[in-house]
Amino acid sequence: MDTQIERFNVIIRVVQGDITCCKADIIVNAANTSLLGGSGVDGAIHRAGGPAILEDCVRIRNKQGGCPVGGAVYTTAGKLEAQYVVHTVGPVWNGGDHQEEELLATCYRHTLQLALELNARSIAFPNISTGIYRFPKEKAAEIAIQEVTRFVQEHVGLNEIIFVCFDAENAQLYSRKLQSPIG
């Protein structure tokens, strides 16, 4: 599955696959606040990218104490086919009454702003917070598409944004949301 549209001169794609195999200037990691790796996409990126990513994460952690929920930091991409990995910490879903939606939107805003500062032309996002953090997948897809659309409408620099969905359910959901006129 590969869905693609153009919005404000930026190609936005949805693909199903492994983000560690994606070719983009930036690969986004759905990290935890410790930045020391974990399970899911976080573990996969650390394994595929090699020890250089963890070394950079440790340096960041020593300097600023990790990364807050909604924040974003960048490291080398190590062995990945990217220039950088941007680590962003999505919220754990706790029923929706703890600013989870705003925090997830902030993840996208901070990550996209960092991409511009790094002069990236392409960026690949995983489905932030929808795994062990239990953020409702449909709500997460809406927020992701909405924030990306808003960002490319207001900023110039990125040429391609890719949502890399590990599973078919998310790929179909993101494709549907991307093709809807309100996305």
Q: For residue 49, give its domain range.
A: 2-179
One-letter identity of residue 132: I
CATH for 96: 3.40.220.10
One-letter identity of residue 135: F
pTM here?
A: 0.96
**164 burial type by CB count under 10 A (0-12 exposed, 13-18 middle, 19+ buried):** buried
One-letter identity of residue 101: E
Strands 160-165 and 122-125: parallel
Encode pLDDT of 143-152 as tens digits.
999 999 999 9
> What average pLDDT is seen over the chain?
95
Strands 26-31 and 84-89: parallel
Please tell me which residue in 18, 25, 42, 167 is annotated as part of the active site: 42
The question of whether 42 is a catalytic residue gets the answer yes
Encode pLDDT of 82-104 as tens digits.
999 999 999 999 999 999 999 99
The domain tally of the chain equals 1
